[in-house]
Chain A
Amino acid sequence: MAQHDAPATTIPSLPDGLVAIVKKDCPTCVLVAPVLADLADRSALTVITQDDPQFPQDADWVVHDTDLSLSWHHDIETVPTLLTVVNGRPTDRIVGWSRPEWEAFTRTDSLGVDLRPWSPGCGSLSVDPTIADQLAVRFSGSTLTSRRIEIAVLEDDWEAMYDRGWSDGMPVVPPTEARVLRMLEGTTRQPDDIVSIVPPDLVECTVEKVAINAVMAGCMPSYLPVVIAALEAACTDEFNMHGLLATTMPCGPVMIINGPVRERLQMNSGVNVLGQGNRANSTIGRALQLVIRNVGGGKPGGVDRATQGNPSKYGLCFAEDEEGSAWESLAESRGFTDGQSTVTLFPGEGPRIIFDQQSRSPESLTKHIALALRANISPRMAMMFDAVLVLSPEHMARYRDAGWDRNRFLEEVSSHLVLDGDDIVRGSDGIEEGMPEFLAGSPVPKFQRGGLLVVHAGGGAGLFSSTIAGWVTGETGSVPVTKEIIP
């Protein structure tokens, strides 16, 4: 895709000097009509009317904002708005009616002395929800450069999108211009900014393309920065999205969210955290997968060669329960502060359960978790595969009660995760698969250093935790990547 120049849309100029933006369908504007006439006379006010071209009266100082272009481009949200305009651009503004404010703003005394001194403004016609989308498409649609595709009259929208290969098999929301423009309001980045080069086709992916796919996935505009950060993380050399896609191992990008954004997006870190039902959790992970599918061209059976795949490849995204945790968060353990919002990408399979309802001591629970983690990928594999441990609140309580912190836990669990080379080398126990023979006789840690990521999530009762096993770690595979989410 070519890069595009800045949008050619020109912003229409306002008349210089004092300007009031009003509509007749606003009691406050009607209330101040005599003040407007007074200011036109005394301070050369220009009135811009949104609805009735002869409001407040038929005069040469009244201009009709016929297509609401002036109101839209100059971000008028309330009427009346009083503006000071220099070189066609507003330099200062006040909204609503307040005699002292108007007198100070216009440097004019005795304004509307017969009127009540204060009255709130009304919504500008340019932000009326029934037409705001049309205005956005009319005035900023031209900033979008993606190809327009007309779905034929006899085609069903959803069938047409499916037929074009744009879906993971589940319904997608039609990415109309109005929806995409709304989505783009979720970020401060420009639509033509390049986010990443997306594998496997190595296509330059713009913010606009991410927004289109986020619409299709069902995201709200506020989720867009998370999807963008996740895409940046996925397309790093370390995470190696291309390799993860192309491997026959059935793994995909798993997203773990930390920081204030969790609350803002009302993400789920509690009951059923790894399951369905929360919009942000369900759609953010999916949006990333749709970008890889649609922009990158990575489709199952094409470059995606996963032998069996796994259900988390529809998009697995969840938030850590930081508030309910006794420990620092995953992001903090990876060098971020609790005020930063982050996404951590892990190349994972689906979650599996660790069942422990009897351990009363942290020692017992830790030994049991370690035993379960030995099965990560295969009990005969060591060092090559990372894991995420999703610790539930009732398991976390064991550690809180005993005063264990994250480091204590990691030390203890690692001490139970040293395997005997004799048990896991090729050919031992009559099993041909295993680690290379030279490890016989040596102790072998199950995980490389930093290869066990621990997150606290889940809700209410339940003495279960979960593990998510990873694809090959290190340079030949994929390393977990954490990125800050920037609005």
Chain B
Amino acid sequence: MHDINDLERRGIPGVFTATIEFSEAARIQSEALGLDVARVLTPHPIQDRTDDEMIAIADQVIDELIAAITASA
């Protein structure tokens, strides 16, 4: 979140990806940073997932990620 906050300050649109476990922490951190950092949440956990499952998760969120760093139509 700090990284995206800093990169936004430098003029670079950014999005942060985390599992749903981070949802509340991310919200609080966003408030503390004073910027509603764009974020996309994935299912939790991920460390025990197979490669295929990881790829499926990536496919599941890719549209949302692109939307977060492009202007909405």
Contacts and interface: CB of A to CB of B under 8 A. Distances in A.
Direct A–B contact in complex, judged by CB atoms less than 8 Å apart = yes
B12 interface: no
B9 A152 contact: no
B31 interface: yes
Interface stretch (A153-161, A371-379, A461-469): A153-161
A301 to B, nearest CB: 13
A153 B9 contact: no
Nearest to B34: A152
Contacts of A163: 9, 34-35
Interface in B19-54: 29, 31-35
B32 A154 contact: yes
Contacts of A154: 29, 32-34
A129 B14 CA distance: 47
Contacts of B34: 151-152, 154-155, 160, 163
A152 B34 CA distance: 5
A153 B34 CA distance: 8
Contacts of B32: 152-155
Contacts of B31: 152
A160 B33 CA distance: 9
A177 to B, nearest CB: 19
A165 to B, nearest CB: 12
Interface residues of A, number: 8
A163 B36 CA distance: 13
B9 A155 contact: no
Interface residues of B, number: 7
Contacts of A151: 34
Given A152-B33, A154-B32, A155-B34, 15 more contacts: A151-B34, A152-B31, A152-B32, A152-B34, A153-B32, A154-B29, A154-B33, A154-B34, A155-B32, A155-B33, A159-B9, A160-B34, A163-B9, A163-B34, A163-B35
Nearest to A152: B34
A352 to B, nearest CB: 36
Nearest to A164: B34
Contacts of A152: 31-34
A158 to B, nearest CB: 13
A369 B46 CA distance: 79
Nearest to A149: B34
B6 to A, nearest CB: 11
Nearest to A150: B34
Contacts of A155: 32-34
A153 B33 CA distance: 7
14 contacts: A151-B34, A152-B31, A152-B32, A152-B33, A152-B34, A153-B32, A154-B29, A154-B32, A154-B34, A155-B32, A155-B33, A155-B34, A160-B34, A163-B35
Nearest to B1: A154
Nearest to B30: A152
A341 to B, nearest CB: 41
Interface string A158-175: 011001000000000000
A159 B34 CA distance: 11
Contacts of B9: 159, 163
A326 to B, nearest CB: 55
Interface in A327-361: none
A8 B47 CA distance: 59
Contacts of B33: 152, 154-155
Which of A153, A154, A160 has most chain B Cβ within 10 Å? A154
B49 to A, nearest CB: 32
Nearest to A154: B32
Contacts of A153: 32
A162 to B, nearest CB: 9
A160 B31 CA distance: 13
Nearest to A162: B9
B29 to A, nearest CB: 8
A152 B32 CA distance: 5
Residue from A151, A152, A159, A160 whose CB has the most chain B CB atoms within 10 Å: A152
Contacts of A159: 9
Interface in A129-157: 151-155
A163 B6 CA distance: 11
Contacts of A160: 34
Nearest to A163: B9
Nearest to B8: A163
A153 B30 CA distance: 10
Can you list the 9 inter-chain pairs with the closest CB atoms, starting with the nearest? Answer: A152-B34, A155-B34, A154-B32, A153-B32, A152-B32, A154-B33, A160-B34, A152-B33, A152-B31
A154 B37 CA distance: 14
A153 B9 CA distance: 17
A71 B38 CA distance: 50
A163 B29 CA distance: 18
A163 B31 CA distance: 15
Interface in A252-274: none
Nearest to A153: B32
A110 to B, nearest CB: 67
A474 B35 CA distance: 46
Interface string A286-318: 000000000000000000000000000000000
